[in-house]
Structure 1
């Protein structure tokens, strides 16, 4: 970068670039994107309510209504506190998509078990698509985590000029991919088996419900812990990413 050019942080109106490292930037951006512990819990609670009610009451409509009600309570709390409702809205969107699949299954004459299976399909498809997209970004050397660095430096692609930053962002992106791959690898065969009639639907639905919770935010927290370990090992100046 020539002497006449402003530093990336200065171009973005931020603090001097020497005051930050790539690791610090990524930690901050990840925390913002995931909403911290509260954001992850807000995403998990409605799913937990749905799963618990489905497994105990076996009433699909009740489970859907109560999961939406739980999300609405969280939304009201956010509104009262005048804080970001992004993560509660994300949970509501997820429930809405699941409910849409259930409704489509019901309209096509699907049984209660088939409707319950339909509820889990969007999550499997989402994780599969997310894993493919993130994996391709790594293979093509455009890891999506790199754009978190770019959003702070003021140049969305300058970080690619430094192989060290590309390698770091690639490792972190693969760590985000891993939970999605695990979810799909464990859930998709069960879903396909129950949908085709090769497996009994009832135990599969119970297993998918448990997996949706166990493989949800706890697995994401594990991935973030691994990312924190990687981020704690090195200190890569942001200025290097834009050199």
Structure 2
């Protein structure tokens, strides 16, 4: 005699309040101090060692090529070629191309200034001097902007804190955070101001004829390397030391970070 099929157990229906209770709670911001927040943001902005190398290599190759070969177009071609190789590697690896693109953008701006100098009848030395002008303008403008943000009481580094806490301006209500961010912003501005202070007189002397243009190009090329990443890394090292002390807590409700859930 055939046995009736056994009844299959019916899945239990979840009550609405049970489903709601099982939803994951929002994760609080992991950083306990403002220093920790800024360290993470700086590492992300610089791209680590690889990102810094990708930003510096094309410019270094241009400078070395010009100093050794004295062929402006070839020096530009070498620097652009190096940047394109780095870009291709990034694309193959399917990783961020931000820092290579930044280098290509800098070379493109420099090439435009060289082209304008050539169009106005400038010599090869004049054109090479023109290549360094955008860097001076950029560093000067960047230093002025950073200094102004500190002088008006809204240091630029503070917005790094705001970008990770979800509130762009709440950090400004904490005086400790404002003081820390002001110090860090001044440290970012210092290398830019120093580059302009050292390189601008040489560039002006070479452009005006009071200094041999070829010697000015050589000096600017060497200084661009010496005052480039080594100086930037020195400033960042000072920032890391300042940030390593972890003395400024991320205050709930003040720095834009929510309270962590109680146990």
Give me the TM-score of the superposition, normalised by structure 2. Answer: 0.85
Greater helix fraction, Structure 1 or Structure 2: 1
Q: 1:143 aligns with which of 125, 133, 155?
A: 155
**TM alignment of 1:143-182, pairs within 5 A:** 143-182=155-194
Preserved contact between residue 18 and residue 238 of structure 1 (Cα < 8 Å): no
Give CA deviations for 1:140-163 in whole Å, capped at 9, x if unaligned.
110000000000111100000010
In structure 2, C-alpha distance between the alignment counterparts of 1:15 and 1:72, rounded to whole Å: 40
Give the Cα–Cα distance (whole angstroms) in 1 for the partners of residues 31 and 94 of structure 2.
Answer: 31
Q: Structure 1 residues 15 and 172 mapped into 2: Cα distance closer, same or farther (>3 Å)?
A: farther
Query: Which region of structure 1 is more displaced relative to structure 2, 126-135 or 195-204?
Result: 195-204
**Aligned mates of 2:246, 2:178 — CA distance in 1:** 14
1:219 positional shift: 1.0
| Runs of at least 5 residues in structure 1 that lack an aligned partner in the other structure | 1-12
Q: 1:186 aligns with which of 164, 178, 198?
A: 198
Deviation at 1:79, TM superposition (A): 0.6
CA distance in structure 2 between the partners assigned to 1:57 and 1:242 by the alignment: 55
Deviation at 1:241, TM superposition (A): 2.4
Corresponding residue for residue 70 of structure 1: 82
Which structure has the bigger radius of gyration? 2
Cα distance in 2 for partners of 1:104, 1:17 equals 50
Work out whether residues 176 and 223 of structure 1, in 8 Å CA contact, stay in contact via their aligned partners in 2: yes
Larger RCO of the pair (alpha carbons < 8 Å, separation 6+): 1
Q: Secondary structure of the equivalent of 1:199?
A: coil
Residue 259 of structure 2 is aligned to residue 241 of structure 1? no
- CA distance in 2 between counterparts of 1:98 and 1:214 reads 19
User: Secondary structure of the residue that 1:103 maps to in structure 2?
Assistant: helix
Instruction: State the Cα deviation string for residues 22-64 of structure 1 (Å, max 9, x = none).
Output: 1111001011111111111101100111011100000000000
- Asked if 2 retains the 8 angstrom alpha-carbon contact of 1:26 and 1:149, the reply is yes
State how far apart, in whole Å, the 2-side matches of 1:115 and 1:198 are.
Answer: 17
| Counterpart-to-counterpart distance in 2, 1:131 and 1:66 | 30
Whether contact under 8 Å (1:162, 1:242) holds in the other structure is no
Cα-to-partner distance string for 1:90-122 (whole Å, 9 max, x where unaligned): 000000000000000000100111000000000
Aligned position for 1:106: 118
Residue of structure 2 in register with 1:121 after alignment:
133
1:205 to 2:210 alignment = no
- SS of 1:241's equivalent in the other structure is coil
SS of 2:153's equivalent in the other structure is: coil
Contact conserved, 2:33 with 2:246, CA < 8 A, in 1? no
1:115/1:14 Cα in 2 relative to 1: closer, same or farther (>3 Å)?
farther
Instruction: Give SS of 1:155's match.
Output: coil
Paired with 2:30 and 2:109, the residues of 1 have a C-alpha distance of 44
Q: Quote the residue 2:91 is aligned against.
A: 79
Structure 1 residues 9-88: aligned runs within 5 Å: 15-17=27-29, 19-88=31-100
C-alpha distance in structure 1 between counterparts of 2:195 and 2:127, whole Å: 20
Aligned to 1:223: 235
TM-score (norm 1): 0.92
Whether 2:104 is the aligned partner of 1:92: answer yes
Stretches of structure 2 that go unaligned for 5 or more consecutive residues are: 1-24, 258-263
